[in-house]
Amino acid sequence: MEPYIVLFEVAKGAGSLAPLATFGVALVAYFAYRQKTNADKRDQWWKRAQWATDAALDQDVSQT
């Protein structure tokens, strides 16, 4: 067999995995996005909780 023919056959087989690989990459990207969104929500909640605690304990009432 010619080396180019073998290479072509391997490339044809790998091409059939392209949709599966694309789905895998999209799935990883979705989970990374979801984790980042949840982490951002937790961070914002904590910042608001700290601000509210500081505002509640502050003697100067004019900031609200």
Give residues with Cβ within 8 angstroms of 64, minimum separation 6.
55
**Cα separation values, 35 from 24, 30, 42, 51, Å:** 17, 9, 11, 24
Q: What is the CA radius of gyration of the chain?
A: 27
Global pTM reads 0.58
The one-digit pLDDT tens for each residue of the chain (64 residues) are 577 777 777 777 777 888 899 999 999 999 999 999 999 999 999 999 999 999 889 877 665 5
| Torsion, Cα of 4, 10, 13, 19 (10° steps) | -100
